[in-house]
Structure 1
């Protein structure tokens, strides 16, 4: 039974990574989830419990994806791209990518910001690699700050009693530590491109797009709403839906987008993939792997050594089975009432760790496809070198800061 469960998970991940003939990730995940139930790897009741548990998180994911689409339709990313100038390009992209990931989630950084950055680099006649690889790294590592920054955060925060603001307060310093390591490390890896003289450019500045004030205000109010709603027991999905309604009415009325596009932006098939993947991962955990992980994390404690071990285990697991299944497996292994600091250390592992390999997160795989579509094929060796330079140091630095943060 264990071999079958693991085999199904591997098949689901292979299809999600390769996407043969452009097939959606759900192509293998849904049949695999059905097999899990039919052959008894997970009882129907257990599968339904998994769907109910993941439902609010997946609903929030869909709402944030639509919100990011509306921000793009309102010109937020076009405006951000117009702010990019040859001088200080890397630093500006770094800040914009970090903020985009934290506020609109890592998917917005990969799908919406990365193409803008690559095109801006071409327009400015500078190497696109430093800024583009910064987008890839920050789509993962800059997602530590808020519960809404990453699907893994949303899954994990429910396992703690942390409010939105408390989560942000505890992760702020580790987030800054990661950004510092990423900035220094990526600047060193891409030092030749960043230091090489740029081609002559007749008009280095170029026109600036108008400030999308209405959209920026709505996004800011939505972010504030997340913090206000959490202590009141209001699910973040309803705050996100509020932002979608306000921006959506404006964008549809102005014909900047359409209702079918909004539905497509919600990525219903990807949401279905997440639900089906949850069922398959639950079956893997119930048939052997959960016990093995439980024995690995049992008794590690909340000391510095224990937190570093949890972060390392999470990072390794993310690079083996992808960060989303790793999160689900580790949450089950940590038990019903894990110490919040241990959960946050685990999030550091599944957030920063995926920068080591392409398969570490779905966001990185999607970034690779975006780069190919933009005509700038990424280099596996360069990606690996950048990951080796930054990821281990960022993992250790952020975990140490988390341990030293007053609780």
Structure 2
């Protein structure tokens, strides 16, 4: 029964009938799991309580990304990339990679999918380049480039909590895996889209009102940089990084409220409270599945130790599970099993659940959201092309990134 509830919640999240939020299925499913006794009220509350700090942090980062978008940060970044590419689709791809990696790492993969993808579409049209390689890059990098910081992905926040690492230690260990994944992705994209990158289209006329180059919001950039530095400082002081995020939101949000350019209601909406509720309810459903025997089966599959073969095995299992049941339930199920082995296995799980979803649409909610955004812009996503690209990129990035993690652990220690 718990497996049926989980699958029902995931199917609902994919389809979203009548545009209903994911929580519309997850909350009743969690309540039913408790009512049927598949998870005790005590265990359900313990799971919710453990997720609350992570979900609160996620909400703050979402608000921060929203405020950066209001200040025109993404449009300014797109203008800089278009100006630097000189009309070359290959240079534009390199620029999109750079911006998408930075946005994903600092403002989370949701910012890349929701806020950057439309900017990339417009930038490609104005540069006279085919949009396909560049928008596929935002989908892949929303997952692949989210390895660097705890704030880059909800899965990272969960792994960060389980690893026992400080913010700076986490970033230090994941820098090399992050760079390896991005380098492999770029090589795969240059090869896979070589025909598209060799073609030009007629540049779209932006119109007189849009020809002015968007200004770079310097105040926003300074606050963002200080917030990022604050993540490291508060972590070293033994405090939750959420305090730094709250500071960034308070400065940017307070400024917008004083200028009457936003409202409290808008800021609350930017925090995606229904999605946060979905995460909490999904955690309860996953707890019911794990208690029902999934943990035993997964424990038998996960290799022990932090040697390279073991880390590769853990990453492979995590990637496979992410494509079967989505990366968020996968990380919730795997982290309790990996945590006793130390930071190495925990970070290998993270590599698997972050890179694996580039293989299928259902691997992560971010990819599903990306597909929905493209449909809103009249662009159909080719399942065959997406899968072929994933078959090239996912095994290669998993291997390179996990090997880089092993090297980092050997040099820096766990």
Q: TM-score range by the shorter chain?
A: over 0.9
What is the distance in 2 between the residues matched to 1:92 and 1:206?
A: 20
Q: Secondary structure at the match of 1:145?
A: coil
Describe the shift of the 1:39–1:149 C-alpha distance in structure 2 as closer, same or farther (beyond 3 A): same
Match of 2:226 in 1: 221
Match of 1:380 in 2: 383
Q: Secondary structure at the match of 1:143?
A: coil
**Is 1:63 aligned to 2:60, yes or no?**
yes
Q: Which of 104, 126, 129 pairs up with 1:126?
A: 129
Deviation at 1:198, TM superposition (A): 3.6
Match of 1:38 in 2: 35
Q: Can you list the C-alpha shifts for 1:249-304, whole angstroms capped at 9, x where unaligned?
A: 1122233322211111100000000000000000100011111111111x521111
Describe the shift of the 1:203–1:377 C-alpha distance in structure 2 as closer, same or farther (beyond 3 A): closer
Match of 1:16 in 2: 13
Deviation at 1:203, TM superposition (A): 8.7
Report the TM-score, using the length of structure 1 for normalisation: 0.96
Deviation at 1:200, TM superposition (A): 5.7
Deviation at 1:102, TM superposition (A): 0.2
Taking only aligned residues, the RMSD between alpha carbons, in angstroms, comes to 1.5
**Is 1:350 aligned to 2:333, yes or no?**
no
Deviation at 1:190, TM superposition (A): 1.1
After TM superposition, the structure 1 stretch with the greater mean CA deviation from structure 2, 71-80 or 4-13, is 71-80
Say whether the 8 Å CA contact 2:75–2:119 is kept in structure 1. yes
Match of 1:314 in 2: 318
Q: Which of 390, 394, 397 pairs up with 1:391?
A: 394
Counterparts of 1:188-227 in structure 2, within 5 Å, are 188-199=191-202, 206-227=211-232
**Is 1:259 aligned to 2:264, yes or no?**
yes
The gaps in structure 2 that reach 5 residues or longer are none
**Is 1:249 aligned to 2:254, yes or no?**
yes
Say whether the 8 Å CA contact 1:74–1:256 is kept in structure 2. no
Say whether the 8 Å CA contact 1:73–1:257 is kept in structure 2. no
Say whether the 8 Å CA contact 1:26–1:276 is kept in structure 2. yes
Q: Can you list the C-alpha shifts for 1:181-221, whole angstroms capped at 9, x where unaligned?
A: 00010111111111113436779995321110000000000
What is the distance in 2 between the residues matched to 1:137 and 1:257?
A: 32
Alignment size in residue pairs:
402
Q: Can you list the C-alpha shifts for 1:2-48, whole angstroms capped at 9, x where unaligned?
A: xx010000000000111011110001100000011111111111111
What is the distance in 1 between the residues matched to 2:260 and 2:214?
A: 19
Describe the shift of the 1:350–1:387 C-alpha distance in structure 2 as closer, same or farther (beyond 3 A): same
**Is 1:236 aligned to 2:241, yes or no?**
yes
Q: Can you list the C-alpha shifts for 1:134-183, whole angstroms capped at 9, x where unaligned?
A: 00000001000011111111101111221111111111011100000000
Match of 1:328 in 2: 332
Deviation at 1:123, TM superposition (A): 2.4
**Is 1:305 aligned to 2:309, yes or no?**
yes
Match of 2:188 in 1: 185
